[in-house]
Amino acid sequence: MTSDIVKPLTEWYERNRRDLPWRRTADPYRIWVSEIMLQQTRVEAAVGYYERFTDELPNIRALAECGDDRLLKLWEGLGYYSRARNLKRAAEMIVEEMDGTFPDDPETIRTLPGVGNYTAGAVASIAFGKVCPAVDGNVLRVWARYTGYEGNVLSARAKKLAEQEIFRVMVESAEGSGERAFSPGDFNQALIETGALICSPNTEPRCSECPLSADCAALRDSSWDRIPLREKKTARRAEKRTVLLVLDGNRAAVRRRPDTGLLGGLYEFPNVSGSMSFEETVAYLRRGGYDSLHIEKLRSARHIFSHVEWDMSGYLVRIASSEGGRYDWFFAEPEMLGKNIPIASAFSAYAAYLGIIIGKGRLKT
Ligand code: ADE
């Protein structure tokens, strides 16, 4: 890869870039928030979340002072709540230790909670024009195809190689930029955009429209369907769970998950490990002090996390009364669940029985 890619790539970007809200600002806070969201969901879904988040929390101080429940609500449906918590912790750090000013160099940005090489590079280059790479999955795919890299792109080695090579191209371009100044932020976003719009992951890439087609190894060798090679290290563990939609009148049982671990701090419908029968479910409820009036099977659902997959079966259970129950549940009106009590999106199939829609778009999780 040489700096010959820069001119066609950035010219293509100028003509084809999508008009996205985080591209209309130079505010590092907003760019950072968008980059964290984009690690979680697709661009189309991120737009709404981004606008709501930045309307409600327009600057670092507002985020640092935001209550946990409000933050949870703003993040609801995006998954990985730990990312939102890291955003807040980082905002607190910036306010307390950096005078409330977002740091402008990638090394300092990298020290913020939840920020890795990619995010640091993206924010430093887009908001501050720093010469540093921002290699996400899109960029890794473009790089691997363009250079004909046949190794595993999920390895640390591949990421490092891509970062080194792209950094070298950026340094060359910044030093030699002639009549038009080199923009590191536009260059990184041009690579991201090429990965998103042209060099697509699962369908045939649109090579005839690609600004990098002149010297692309995968196009030359017809190897786009073999590159990038993605070999996952660990297999995902499948876990059966039984989800209980326990209703006392129109109020549903919910509980809060522990702060740490999977879905930390989010609310959920009661659920237990394993696939329970009708009888086991009734007995489980009785042990908790609840008498079942009516029980019916609900549809099964699956939710995929990074290391575990939940294969869920569910029951709707009407109980005589929630008084005197011994489990750590409380009973909430469906309107509260929609508004003030964020239910983890893993349970969206069951929330739908109460008319509650969780999340707006398809998630990457
Ligand atoms: N994905 C990650 N960062 C992005 C950006 N700045 N624009 C569009 N898609 C992205």
pLDDT in tens, 308-324: 999 999 999 999 999 98
> What is the pLDDT at residue 37?
97
Q: Indicate the top mutation candidate among 43, 139, 199 to test ligand 1's pocket, ranked by most ligand atoms within 8 A of CB.
A: 43
At 71-85, the pLDDT tens digits run 999 999 898 889 999
User: Going by CA atoms, what residue is nearest to atom 7 of ligand 1?
Assistant: 189
> What is the pLDDT at residue 365?
33
Calculate mean pLDDT across residues 185-214. Answer: 96
**Average pLDDT value over all residues in the chain:** 93
> What is the pLDDT at residue 120?
98
Q: Indicate the top mutation candidate among 18, 24, 34, 200 to test ligand 1's pocket, ranked by most ligand atoms within 8 A of CB.
A: 34
Report percent pLDDT > 90 for the chain. 85
| Nearest atom in ligand 1 to 196's CA | 9
pLDDT of 158 higher than 50: yes
**Where does the pLDDT of residue 358 fall: very low under 50, low under 70, confident under 90, or very high at 90 and above?**
confident
Calculate mean pLDDT across residues 127-153. Answer: 97
Tell me the CA–centroid distance for residue 216 and ligand 1, in Å: 22
User: Going by CA atoms, what residue is nearest to atom 3 of ligand 1?
Assistant: 35
Residues with CB under 6 A from ligand 1: 20, 35, 38, 43, 122, 136, 189, 192, 196
> What is the pLDDT at residue 193?
97
At 278-298, the pLDDT tens digits run 999 999 999 999 999 999 999
**Where does the pLDDT of residue 218 fall: very low under 50, low under 70, confident under 90, or very high at 90 and above?**
very high
pLDDT of 50 higher than 90: yes
User: Does residue 35 have an active-site annotation?
Assistant: yes
Give the residue, 119 or 337, on which the prediction is more confident: 119
User: Going by CA atoms, what residue is nearest to atom 5 of ligand 1?
Assistant: 189
Tell me the CA–centroid distance for residue 189 and ligand 1, in Å: 7
Q: What would the 3-class secondary structure string for the chain be? A: CCHHHHHHHHHHHHHHCCCCHHHCCCCHHHHHHHHHHHCCECHHHHHHHHHHHHHHCCCHHHHHHCCHHHHHHHHCCCCCHHHHHHHHHHHHHHHHHCCCCCCCCHHHHHCCCCCCHHHHHHHHHHHHCCCCCCCCHHHHHHHHHHHCCCCECCCHHHHHHHHHHHHHHHHHHHHHCCCCCCCHHHHHHHHHHHHHHCCCCCCCCCHHHCCCHHHCHHHHCCCCCCCCECCCCCCCEEEEEEEEEEEECCEEEEEECCCCCCCCCCEECCEEECCCCHHHHHHHHHHCCCCEEEEEEEEEEEEECCCEEEEEEEEEEEECCCCCCCCCCEEECHHHHHHCCCECHHHHHHHHHHCCCCCCCCECC
Tell me the CA–centroid distance for residue 190 and ligand 1, in Å: 9
Q: Which of 11, 35, 193, 323 is catalytic?
A: 35
pLDDT of 32 higher than 80: yes
> What is the pLDDT at residue 265?
85
**Where does the pLDDT of residue 359 fall: very low under 50, low under 70, confident under 90, or very high at 90 and above?**
low
Calculate mean pLDDT across residues 163-171. Answer: 97
